[in-house]
């Protein structure tokens, strides 16, 4: 009887509110209309969140539909008073969520369209300032290498490169390095394979051998590159470093040509105009010499780096041994030439007063950033 009455009551109330009916069973009541309404509001929230517009007009239509004075939200808030007390809290919360979602969507879309013409809608706002890009800097080794290349380019030298992994012929044999030479020992050179020997090049003279094998004189080339030696690492020495070696071959090349070229280089590179050549020995040049430049003794640093002498050793050089020319297919009766080689790290350390060679390889940005101005 009670059940019958409640059904009757609920049909009445459905008639009253137009779209609800509920089944009341003693204290327990389920309001189907309120639950479906709640689902409907949740569905609308999903629709609002997913809404996309391509024109401002579409945003306005959307705003009117949801937030306008005769919009969906107004209608739904009107329904609120008909919702059963037990569902009011959930329904009210859902309605607020819907209102917030619609307001946020309209604001976000309007912002996106603001100051946006048809054209920059495609390209973005072209008048907007760009994000600042922090410029990097060249590595000091690259800076110095490029300076050396520039100086030699101006007098007709080209740049040649070769492999870092070399065979015995190009690194040693073609260059007259005898069987017992210490450079051929494991403690001086990194071998990758033995018999036949494959190794990490110990100098870029190997590039010059390759160049002579493949080119006819006149030859004017410099070979910058990374080289490897099995040395203990310290402030002055590293197992990896960089060299630039030079080679000049033509008819009637003399030691005077070599000396003049080196003088030109020291003037251009360091602004110093005094050099001296000390007799030395290299298996691939004869005669050979070490080149010192007069650095001067003006400051305390000058005293320190020249050990109080004013002179600094910067490279090795000499006239290419006729045997090396022959090994590389060049007639020593017809041609002669000179060669020189220098370490880039050593020169960079001098120019920038870098006290420790290891700094070049540590990739510490505090060190590298200091070269920003010398691009």
User: Interface residues with ligand PHE (CB under 6 A)?
Assistant: 203, 205, 245, 282, 285, 316-318, 339-341
- Measured from the CB atom, the residue of 31 and 203 that comes closer to ligand PHE is 203
- Measured from the CB atom, the residue of 205 and 336 that comes closer to ligand PHE is 205
Output the smallest distance, CB 290 to ligand PHE, in A.
9
Q: What is the DSSP letter of 79?
A: H
Query: Within 13 A of 316's CA, how many CA atoms are on the CB side?
Result: 16
State the pairing for strand pair 311-320/191-193. Answer: unpaired
In our burial notation (b when 16+ CB lie closer than 10 A, e otherwise), range 291-324 reads bbbbbeeeeeeeeeebeeebbbebbbbbbbbbeb
Output the smallest distance, CB 342 to ligand PHE, in A.
8
Output the smallest distance, CB 206 to ligand PHE, in A.
9
Output the smallest distance, CB 324 to ligand PHE, in A.
10
**Radius of gyration, CA atoms only, the chain:** 42
Output the smallest distance, CB 345 to ligand PHE, in A.
13
Could you tell me if 337 and 249 are in contact, meaning their C-beta atoms sit under 8 angstroms apart? yes
Alpha-carbon distance of 372 to 88, in angstroms, equals: 67
- Measured from the CB atom, the residue of 317 and 325 that comes closer to ligand PHE is 317
Q: What is the DSSP string of 91-121?
A: HHHHHHHHHHHHHHHHHHHHHHHTT--HHHH
- Measured from the CB atom, the residue of 102 and 177 that comes closer to ligand PHE is 177
Alpha-carbon distance of 117 to 83, in angstroms, equals: 46
Closest to 348 in 3D by CA, of 243, 273, 258: 243
- Measured from the CB atom, the residue of 24 and 346 that comes closer to ligand PHE is 346
Alpha-carbon distance of 373 to 369, in angstroms, equals: 9
- Measured from the CB atom, the residue of 109 and 330 that comes closer to ligand PHE is 330
Output the smallest distance, CB 274 to ligand PHE, in A.
21
φ/ψ (deg, to 5) at 89: -60, -50
- Measured from the CB atom, the residue of 84 and 257 that comes closer to ligand PHE is 257
In our burial notation (b when 16+ CB lie closer than 10 A, e otherwise), range 88-119 reads eeebeebbeebbebbeebbeebeeebeeeeee
Output the smallest distance, CB 133 to ligand PHE, in A.
40
- Measured from the CB atom, the residue of 171 and 306 that comes closer to ligand PHE is 171
Alpha-carbon distance of 374 to 363, in angstroms, equals: 17
Output the smallest distance, CB 338 to ligand PHE, in A.
8
Alpha-carbon distance of 3 to 17, in angstroms, equals: 21
Give the residue at shortest CB distance from ligand PHE: 341
- Measured from the CB atom, the residue of 22 and 205 that comes closer to ligand PHE is 205
Output the smallest distance, CB 344 to ligand PHE, in A.
12
Look at the block and give the residue holding tokens 């080289």.
227
């Amino acid at each position: 009887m009670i059940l019958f009455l409640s059904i009757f009551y609920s049909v009445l109330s459905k008639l009253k509110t137009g779209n609800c009916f509920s089944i009341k069973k003693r204290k327990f009541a389920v309001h189907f209309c309120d639950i479906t309404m709640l689902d409907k509001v949740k569905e609308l929230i999903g629709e609002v969140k997913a809404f996309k517009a391509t024109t401002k007009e579409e945003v306005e239509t959307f705003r009117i539909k949801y937030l306008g004075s005769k919009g969906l939200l107004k209608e739904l808030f009107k329904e609120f008073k008909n919702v059963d007390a037990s569902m009011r809290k959930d329904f009210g919360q859902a309605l607020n969520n819907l209102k917030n979602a619609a307001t946020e969507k309209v604001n976000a879309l309007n912002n996106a369209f603001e100051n946006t013409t048809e054209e920059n809608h495609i390209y973005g706002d072209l008048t907007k300032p760009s994000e600042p890009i922090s410029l990097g800097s060249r590595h000091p080794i690259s800076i110095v290498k490029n300076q050396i290349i520039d100086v030699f380019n101006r007098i007709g030298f080209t740049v040649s490169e070769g492999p870092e992994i070399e065979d015995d012929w190009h690194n040693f044999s073609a260059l007259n390095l005898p069987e017992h030479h210490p450079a051929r020992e494991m403690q001086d050179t990194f071998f990758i394979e033995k018999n036949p020997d494959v190794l990490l090049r110990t100098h870029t003279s190997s590039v010059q051998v390759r160049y002579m094998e493949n080119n006819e004189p006149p030859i004017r080339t410099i070979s910058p590159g990374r080289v490897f030696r099995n040395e203990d690492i310290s402030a002055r020495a590293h197992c990896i470093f960089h060299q630039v070696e030079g080679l000049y071959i033509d008819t009637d090349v003399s030691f005077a040509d070599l000396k003049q070229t080196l003088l030109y280089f020291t003037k251009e590179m360091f602004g110093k105009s005094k050099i001296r050549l000390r007799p030395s020995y290299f298996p691939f040049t004869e005669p050979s010499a070490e080149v010192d430049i007069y650095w001067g003794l003006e400051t305390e640093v000058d005293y320190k780096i020249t050990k109080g002498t004013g002179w600094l050793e910067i490279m090795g050089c000499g006239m290419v041994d006729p045997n090396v020319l022959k090994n590389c297919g060049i007639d020593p009766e017809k041609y002669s030439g000179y060669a020189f080689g220098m370490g880039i790290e050593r020169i960079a350390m001098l120019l920038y007063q870098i006290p420790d060679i290891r700094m070049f390889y540590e990739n510490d940005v505090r060190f590298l950033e200091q070269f920003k101005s010398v691009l």
